[in-house]
Amino acid sequence: MKIIDLSLPIDEKAFEVHKVAIERVTHKKGIEKFNRVIMGKTLFGKFKYLLGERILKKEDLPDEEFLSLEIVHSPVHIGTHLDYSFHYGSKSEGRASKTADEIPLEYCYQDGVKLGLTHKKPNEIIKADDIESALKKINYQLKPLDIVLLCTGADKLYGSPKYFSDYPGIDISAIDYLLDKGIKIFGVDTMGIDRPYRFMLKEFLEKKDPKVLYPAHFYGRKREFIHIERLANLEKLPPSGFKVICFPVRIKDTGAAWARVVAIL
């Protein structure tokens, strides 16, 4: 058995559009934080802390170290994650949209299929014909619940501004094609399923046509689907013959959730 990591990290040092911060409390500083938090629970304790009294000293601990602590401040759309219908709109298929903690877990451990689409250029869209052609090349017929991974190679741009501007989008026809085959989850190695916003916004300002803005995402209001964004290392996978595991972190009432997505060969 071989496990291949298909995930990108949450990294405060990488270029991101949204702010990401990780507060890192070291082993040494953890002692002081412990005293401040515990003693700060009462007014009398706060007063004693300000006067320099401590209930725990470094000499009381092995190696004079406490426990480290990292506090992550990040949108749920940073790092590899699953999007569900609440992200797309308040309703999907005429019903209240579902949140990421409602994603059926049985969808998240299924046979995987990798489709090669590295020929698609930035601002181009992946259509149903592209999906069908990619399937013919690997001689594979989709079956219900397959997790389909679209390999564009855009993950190699992660960490730079180009990661947000140089990748193809997904056409509604491609989404329909996958859903009609019984696919519940598909994934991309791009930062989103729509074309980069610089192209969409430019067209919107020129044409004043709202249909050019996030059509793939907004299509989730008409047909319910789940997709994975920010995958990586898809080039390491064979076309088929592997399992994908993409269980989302259980966060209450969000439109997306982080996941450590892996392939098992």
In the chain, what is the straight-line distance between the N-terminal and C-terminal CA atoms, in Å?
6
Inside any domain, residue 15: no
Q: Note whether 222 and 249 are same-domain residues.
A: yes
Helix or strand (DSSP H, E) at 75: none
Domain span at 210? 3-9+76-264
For the chain, what percent of residues have pLDDT higher than 70?
100
**Residue range 78-114, pLDDT digits in tens:** 999 999 999 999 999 999 999 999 999 999 999 999 9
- Strand arrangement, sheet containing 109-116: 3-5, 262-264, 242-245, 109-116, 147-151, 185-188, 226-229, 81-83, 256-258
Q: Note whether 242 and 118 are same-domain residues.
A: yes
Q: Domain boundary residue among 41, 57, 73?
A: 73
β-bridge pairing 109-116 and 147-151: parallel
Q: Note whether 137 and 163 are same-domain residues.
A: yes
pTM: 0.92
Q: Note whether 104 and 218 are same-domain residues.
A: yes
- Give the range among 56-60, 138-142, 177-181 with minimum mean pLDDT: 56-60
Q: Note whether 211 and 230 are same-domain residues.
A: yes
Write down the pLDDT at residue 90: 97
**Residue range 214-261, pLDDT digits in tens:** 999 999 999 999 999 999 999 999 999 999 999 999 999 999 999 999
Write down the pLDDT at residue 249: 98
- Helices H, strands E: what count in the chain? 7, 15
Q: Domain boundary residue among 39, 58, 73?
A: 73
Can you tell me the mean pLDDT for 8-13?
96
Q: Note whether 69 and 99 are same-domain residues.
A: no
How far is the C-alpha of 186 from the C-alpha of 175, rounded, in Å? 9
How far is the C-alpha of 109 from the C-alpha of 247, rounded, in Å? 8
**CB neighbours (10 Å) of residue 177?**
20
Q: Which of 183, 184, 224, 219 lies closest to 93 in space, CA to CA?
A: 224
Q: Which of 244, 194, 243 lies closest to 77 in space, CA to CA?
A: 194
CA trace torsion 137, 140, 144, 149 (10° rounding): -50
Residue 217 DSSP label: H
Q: Note whether 207 and 151 are same-domain residues.
A: yes
Q: How many domains does the chain have?
A: 2
Q: Note whether 239 and 206 are same-domain residues.
A: yes
* Beta partners for residue 70, in sequence order: 24
Write down the pLDDT at residue 161: 95
